[in-house]
Structure 1
């Protein structure tokens, strides 16, 4: 019984660390939708459509963040911190490149997007705002995702939880509320993008700093257990 409790405790620690970062995004989306609902059905329709477009346009970034974690973990275990740092930098570069390309396509194809969703009025205005201007903010959302993958595989899962909840609360609530007060539905989307940008930059900087403090496990006879963060 004692061994079972110990095993369950260890499983709970890992499962809890993996589960905790999954809740902030729905929370932040719910807050934004609640605020957007003040401006009517058309505004909510615009926001929901933008969410669907984002998943399609930036699906590669979601896939990248799922793939980069095992690469970071493998190289950390092999005692190759320079590869961890290289993987992290390359992931940020690929994220930026993909988002810029998708943003350009969305801006150029905005009329087609509006026709595809039969959007008009306020809904069309919000979608056009996203396609022409706000899609670029996903660079920083993607950077947050990459940083979270690094945190989880460098033994700092609580940093991923902290940044995700920070973006969903401090990076969402005040910005969308101020946007709603000052500029209506379009400013709500702008506020959401500003908050994501701030937390994406912060998370990326912390992840790079964390990777920069890794020491080379090969200097300890090649034992992967000696690879880690120099504190």
Structure 2
């Protein structure tokens, strides 16, 4: 047990009380994310189980992907006997936005070795990025680990639980679990939008772009993955130009 604690402390850079404090702050701020992730990954576990996957396979998918939309889309292709190429292209397009998020967050983190940056990059999701990017101070590795690990465990636990107990839930309840992620994301951005005109402006621009792609006939056929990428680039550029950082 002590050896495990020593390895954990060394990995998370717990070389001071400040590092431990930042880790715990990350854990605290990740609790709303974890609460939202559990029912969503629970739904994924149900979907995988109903498609014929065993709970262990569903769990491995969640442990190695840690992504919502891409994971659902990729697994759907697998269950419908799609090709490896289809899975690769689909998940790449949907998840390419994480490259943009990682690039953006790299401007906000303290200096650290590449190995730690790679660990952090694996845990970047829409929600962990949102919380980290809204921090007023530089983001540290212990803080990000607190934010990521708690969310990651909730995602994995929800998947396993959903896969195991899928047969005990009604179809209506299974479908209702899928909206939890949207409610959680609103809970993350609405308070910040109320406190910051800059955040509100970027949100309005990104939502407007998404609505245009949704309802304009000529471009409504573009995949959701590309729409997210386009909306992210335009909204980010808008924020950088209209609301530049003072320093």
- Could you tell me the TM-score, scaled by structure 1's length? 0.35
Q: Please state which structure has a larger fraction of its residues in helix.
A: 1
Q: Which has the higher contact order (CA 8 A, sep 6+)?
A: 2
Bigger radius of gyration, 1 or 2? 1
